[in-house]
A and B are shown apart, each in its own frame.
Chain A
Amino acid sequence: MNLPLNFLIVNMNYIAILMWFFGAVYIGYVFITLYHLTRFGVGQSPKVFSVVFFVGSIFFLILLLVAYISIDFNIISDSINEIFKKFNMDLLSK
C-alpha cells in the first residue's frame, strides 16, 4: 500500500523562517537588555543608555528588514550557479 507521504515535501522558505527566528531572538535580547538597564540600573546613565539602545535597536531592525527585502534571491541563485559552473561543479543546475 502506497502511503501519500508527499505532504512531507513542502516547499518552505527556509530563509524567511530563519529571519523570523533571528528577529524573535533579537527582540528578546533587546527586551532583556532594556529590562536590566531600567530595573537594576542606578543613576542617570543606565536610563539614558537604555533610550539610546532602544532607538538604535529599532534603527538596526529597520535596516535589517530593508536589507532583507532588497535581496533578489533569483539573481543570487543564478550567480551561485555560474560560480559552480566555472569550477565545473554544476550541482545546483541539475
Chain B
Amino acid sequence: MFFVETKYSFEGQHPDEKVILFSRRHWFVILLPMIAFAIMALIPLILYIFTESLFARMGLTSIVLFVFTIYYVIWWLSLSYKITMYLMDYWIITDKRVIDSRQHGFFSRSVATAQLNRIQDVTTSINGPMATWLDFGNIEVQTAGTENNFFFYDIPNPAQMRGLIMEVIERRKGKQNKGSYDTY
C-alpha cells in the first residue's frame, strides 16, 4: 500500500480498527526553525546585492550565482528534511490502542503501541509561557505492568486530548460499543 486509503489510515491498521484521534506536534514547534530557514534564505540575496559590482568587475558573477544556487539547493533539502521529520512524528488513538510513531531521521523510526485496556492513567503537563498561551503540552500515558509509559510531546490542546483518551478508555472498559466514535 503506497498511498493510504482514507484520511487517517496508517500502516499496520487492523481491518476493524477505527482511528479516533490523530495528532502531530503543535505548529509552534516548527515555527522557530522555519523562521531560521527564512533568514538563511535571505543571506545570499543580501550578500549578492552588496557584492554584485565587485564580482562583475572580476568576471566572477556566473560562479557566484552557481555557488549561491548550490547553497539554495542545500537549503531546500535541509528545509524539507525538517518538515519531513515534523510530519513523521505523530500519535494515533484508535478504538483499540494508542500508537506512538516517531521518526528520528531517515531510516531510523520507532513505533510503539499500547492496548487501551493496559492504560492506567493519563497526565498532562504544560510548561512555559508560549505553551500556556498557545495551549500545547505533553501527555504521559501510564501503562500497566512492565510496559513503558507513553509520552506525547508538544500536543495541541492536551487537556482536551486527555479527556478524550480517558473517554475512549472508559468506553472500552465499559464495553459501550453500541455508539460510534467521532473521529477528530
Contacts and interface: CB of A to CB of B under 8 A. Distances in A.
B83 A49 contact: yes
Contacts, number: 92
Contacts of A46: 84, 87-88
Interface stretch (B65-73, B120-128, B141-149): B65-73
Contacts of A70: 62, 65-66
B175 interface: no
A56 B84 CA distance: 14
Nearest to A39: B2
A49 B7 contact: no
B62 A63 contact: no
A76 B83 CA distance: 38
B58 A79 contact: yes
A76 B63 contact: yes
Contacts of B60: 76, 79
B156 to A, nearest CB: 14
Contacts of A37: 84, 87
A40 B103 contact: yes
B105 to A, nearest CB: 10
Interface of A: 22, 26, 29-30, 32-33, 36-47, 49, 53, 56-57, 60-61, 63-64, 67-68, 70-72, 75-76, 78-79, 82-83
Interface of B: 2-4, 7-11, 22, 24, 58-60, 62-63, 65-66, 69-70, 72-73, 76-77, 80-81, 83-84, 87-88, 90, 92, 101, 103, 106, 109
